[in-house]
Amino acid sequence: MLLRYKSIYFFSISFFYLFLISFFWNEIQLPFYNENNVIGTLSAKGINPLNDTIKFFLFVAPTLTISLIFLKKNFSNNIINFKDFFNQETINREELNVKDIIYFFILFSLLIILDFLTIDFSRFIHLDTLHDGDYLTPLINYENYKGFWSKSFTIHGGRDLFIPVIILKLFETTNIAPVKFLYLSLILPLKFLSIILAYQISKITNLKKNFKIIIFVLSSLFLLSMSKYDQNYYLSIRDIFVLVFFIYFIKILLQKKNYINNFLLVVTATCALFFHYDTGIYLILILIFYFIYLITGKKYSEISSFLISIFICAMTVYFYFGQIEINNFIQQIAHIVKNIDKIHGIEYPQPFFSIGENDHAPRATKLLLFFIIFGFFFNILIFLKNDYLQIKDRVLISFIYLYSLISFKNALGRSDGGHIMISSDWITILLFYLLLFSIFFYLSLKIKKNYSQKTISIILSFLIIGSISYKLQNKTIYEAPTNIRNFISISNLEFVSSKRKDILKKISLLVKDEECINNFTSDLSLPYLINKPTCTKFFSSWILSGKKTEKTYLEQLSESTGNYLIYNSPHFIVDQIPTNKRLPLVDTFIKNNYFEALNYQNYVILKKND
């Protein structure tokens, strides 16, 4: 059979399989178990939160397996031997060095700084009581109790504990504006890291240096566009340690043995775990897979280096935070991993067939196709011999693709537009580089003339200088120092509506003699706004659903010296499921031991029985 007909046959089977999986998408269901009685959107419908993970696996894995079988049967003489993947000997090629791109790096740095200075800070004078409350109430808890996980049970991890505390330490203030400013400012190093990552990735392949310079400039512009100050975009502060991780990972793969980079890679993954639960776990998984790769390749010296690094990091963390904080950290991350999809999950839209019925379906379907498209070309690039990629390049691409698959779990857990978008960052980056490298692989065959580096640099500079000139036309840039000072000095009252101020006064007056208050709502900023720490670490009660955690909550609540409890707030309800429905055991205890002290505009404050 001719290769053309075999290809048509292969694509027909693949398309037919994808059609079947998509058609029967809603019929793929795992048994639902909920012995812990976790309450959320999915559990209310009796849906197993692992359903979408299984569906994703069934959509992607068999299709890529079919394509790999097709390649092996039709290009058997051109398939790379499995053992070759553990041989990372470098074949001479034109290396891209810092001196080759330093001029562009300076221009990009100027562009990044100008971009920051043109921020309109007045757009951030608002309060998202759920997301801003996630770090404001832990801040006031830390100020009063001097504890991290032992005093605040957070949904994201250490970022909502450490960042506000940095402001407290540096400026001795707990005001909203300085904390918000620091969160915004962290996008600045994220953008610098994006350029460094672009440089590291541009070093791979056997392309000529001039092509690598062009790839660096274009990919830097692309990566810079993936982060924004005014919204939670593709790349956000949760990705800071991910970028650092892959920068070191590339250095390890492209250079000779470097034990310092091995150590820094482990440090980065450790910091990521304590900074943000999900990205930290994903990076730890990548580290485990890389460790398996080293064991399989019998790279014993690097294995020893990693084991020593892990031991040093573990001891450092233990002695810095102490056993109590570590125990609380483990309890929190275990609860989040086991239960968050049941608590906060949303079903992944059915590919193709739900478009027009579900607002998130087009993006959801597009992302699934992205994984299939890149996966097909991934098999070609990684497993077929070619003159452009060395073994270490193939290993690197494999691990980045693996991370993109693992980190998509966020979108499979809560499948709304925002979570699908932030989970699509790495597959989008991979597709961009696939397109870019493909173009230059083709051009390298067609263009034999080697243009001077100076000529290329001048042409590319116009791209960046044009962006810089556009930024300089923004008058905000010349008032940036004043705007920043004015924003940081804004009082907390300017973040609160007049209607909200009224109820805050009433609650503050009611609890003025109390040392703390309990919060049983998803209005997480309320304790902060009345300047009271929470009496227990469970300030974000809505994420505590499940009998085991409820029992711990009950123990702390019953031992609490606080007399008042915020029982209801109309300000925000997560997924329209109030906390009293999510935590029935705690709700029963509250109703038996508290009475109504204030009921105003649907805000209900209870007081403990005498």
pLDDT digits (tens, 9 = 90+) for 298-341: 889 899 999 999 999 999 999 999 999 999 999 999 999 999 99
**At residue 230, what are phi and psi to the nearest 5 degrees?**
-100, 5
Among the listed ranges 91-105, 237-251, 404-418, which one has the minimum average pLDDT value? 91-105
Query: Are 188 and 145 in contact, with CB atoms under 8 Å apart?
Result: no
Query: Can you list the pairs that 52-57 forms with residues at least 24 positions away whose Cβ atoms lie under 8 Å?
Result: 52/347, 52/348, 52/412, 52/413, 52/415, 53/409, 53/412, 54/28, 54/30, 55/21, 55/25, 55/28, 55/348, 56/348, 56/368, 56/408, 56/412
| Residue 353 per-residue DSSP state | T
Distance CA 197, CA 400 (A): 12
Q: What pLDDT, on a 0 to 100 scale, did the predictor assign at position 152?
A: 97
Q: What pLDDT, on a 0 to 100 scale, did the predictor assign at position 450?
A: 64
Mean pLDDT value of segment 411-429: 94
Please check the confidence at residue 80 and state whether its pLDDT lies above 70: yes
Please check the confidence at residue 273 and state whether its pLDDT lies above 70: yes
| Residue 38 per-residue DSSP state | -
Mean pLDDT value of segment 350-364: 95
Q: What pLDDT, on a 0 to 100 scale, did the predictor assign at position 369?
A: 96
Q: What pLDDT, on a 0 to 100 scale, did the predictor assign at position 173?
A: 92
Mean pLDDT value of segment 8-20: 93
Distance CA 346, CA 574 (A): 12
| Burial class of 64 by CB neighbour count within 10 A (0 to 12, 13 to 18, 19+) | middle
How confident is residue 447, by pLDDT bands cut at 50, 70 and 90?
confident
Distance CA 46, CA 38 (A): 11
**At residue 602, what are phi and psi to the nearest 5 degrees?**
70, 10
**At residue 284, what are phi and psi to the nearest 5 degrees?**
-60, -40
Q: What pLDDT, on a 0 to 100 scale, did the predictor assign at position 258?
A: 76
Query: Are 575 and 542 in contact, with CB atoms under 8 Å apart?
Result: no
Among the listed ranges 80-89, 302-311, 410-419, which one has the minimum average pLDDT value? 80-89
Q: Which is it for the CA torsion 397, 401, 403, 404, positive or negative?
A: positive
Query: pLDDT tens digits, residue range 227-247?
Result: 999 878 999 999 999 999 999
Nearby residues of 487 by Cβ (< 8 Å), 6 or more positions away: 121, 122, 124, 125, 177, 181
Please check the confidence at residue 4 and state whether its pLDDT lies above 90: no
Amino acid at position 255, single letter: Q
Distance CA 182, CA 177 (A): 9
What's this model's pTM, rounded to 2 decimal places?
0.95
Amino acid at position 373, single letter: I
Query: Are 594 and 607 in contact, with CB atoms under 8 Å apart?
Result: yes
Please check the confidence at residue 209 and state whether its pLDDT lies above 70: yes
Mean pLDDT value of segment 564-570: 96
| Burial class of 20 by CB neighbour count within 10 A (0 to 12, 13 to 18, 19+) | exposed
Both tokens assigned to 504: 């805050």
The total of other beta-carbon atoms located within 10 Å of residue 37's CB is 16
Spans of all domains in the chain: 124-183+496-608, 236-344
Mean pLDDT value of segment 75-81: 90
Distance CA 7, CA 553 (A): 60
Mean pLDDT value of segment 273-299: 95
Q: What pLDDT, on a 0 to 100 scale, did the predictor assign at position 237?
A: 95
Distance CA 308, CA 239 (A): 26
How confident is residue 89, by pLDDT bands cut at 50, 70 and 90?
low
Please check the confidence at residue 479 and state whether its pLDDT lies above 90: no
Mean pLDDT of the chain: 92
| Residue 235 per-residue DSSP state | S
Distance CA 213, CA 222 (A): 14
Query: Per mean pLDDT, which of 204-218, 514-528, 560-574 is the most reliable?
Result: 514-528
Q: What pLDDT, on a 0 to 100 scale, did the predictor assign at position 451?
A: 61
Please check the confidence at residue 3 and state whether its pLDDT lies above 90: no
Q: What pLDDT, on a 0 to 100 scale, did the predictor assign at position 462?
A: 75
